[in-house]
A = this chain, B = another copy of it.
Amino acid sequence: MNDMNASEHIMNYQKNIFIVFIECETSGNVGFLARAMANFGIENLVLINPCELDKSAYFQAMHGKYVVENSKTYGTIEEFLKTEHIDFIVGSTGTPGGSYNLSRIPITPEKLSETINLNTKIAILFGREGNGLYNNEINLCDIIVSIPTNENYPIMNISHAAAIIFYELFKNKNQFPVEGLEESTLLEKEYLLKDLKEIINTLDIPEHKEKTNLKAFKNIINRAFITGRESHTLKGLFRKIKIKLQEIEK
C-alpha cells in the first residue's frame, strides 16, 4: 500500500538531506548556497560555528531566503551529528588526495547520485571557503565526493560545487530505489566492521596496520554502497572466519 505519488516521494528524499556548511567565512556565500538549495527543493541548512550572518546572506539567497531563516546553528559538527541522528555523511572536496590517502579517495557526483540511498538521513559537508574540510572532518565522512574539473584550477566556489552535486542528486527525479537493493544501514555496516576487527585481532597484526585495514574496508563498502543483502552475506562469511580463527587460538 503506497499512496505517495512521485513528487511526494521526492519531497521526502529532500527532507532527508542536511547541507552542512562548516565555519563559513563570508555571509554572502551562505546566501548563494541557500539559493542553490531552494532551486533543488532542499531545505535543511546547518551552519557549524559560522561567521556572523549579515544582510548579504538573505539578499544573495533571493527566493531561497527562507532556507537561511530556518537554518540551524551548532558549535561543533559532533553536536549536530548527535542531535540529528545522521546515517550517512558525505564530504565534498576539491583537493582529493592520492591513493596513498585512504580517507580522500573520492567518487564523482554522478556515482554518488546513482548509488546513494535517499531513504536514510544524509549530511553533505562543505568546508571553509579558504581551507575546505579539515582532516578530522574528512575522517568523519562515510564517503568523499569530488567534481571532475580542469587540473589547472580544481578549487570551485562552494555554492557552485553544491549546485552541481544537488543537480546530480535530483536530475533523474523518476528513479526510485529498487526493492531488495536498499543500501546497507549504518548499524549493519558497523557490525560488519566489528566482525572484521575481531578477525584481525586473532591474527598477528600490529595496531597501526589494523587501523589501516579497517579504514580501507570501510571505504570500500561505502564507495560501493553495499546493499543490505550483500552486507548480510558478508556478515555470515565473517562470522564463520571469526569462529574458525578463535577455535584455533584456544
Contact = CB atoms under 8 A, between A and B. Distances in A.
Oligomer: number of copies: 2
B157 A108 contact: no
Contacts of A39: 149-150, 153-156, 160
27 contacts: A32-B157, A35-B157, A35-B160, A36-B156, A36-B157, A38-B150, A39-B155, A40-B149, A40-B150, A41-B150, A41-B152, A62-B155, A62-B157, A63-B153, A108-B171, A109-B167, A110-B171, A148-B167, A148-B170, A148-B171, A150-B170, A156-B163, A157-B163, A160-B163, A163-B163, A163-B164, A164-B167
Contacts of A157: 32, 35-36, 62, 159, 163
A123 interface: no
A108 B174 CA distance: 15
A64 interface: yes
A112 interface: no
A55 interface: no
Contacts of A156: 35-36, 39, 163
Contacts of A211: none
Contacts of A150: 38-41, 170
A82 to B, nearest CB: 30
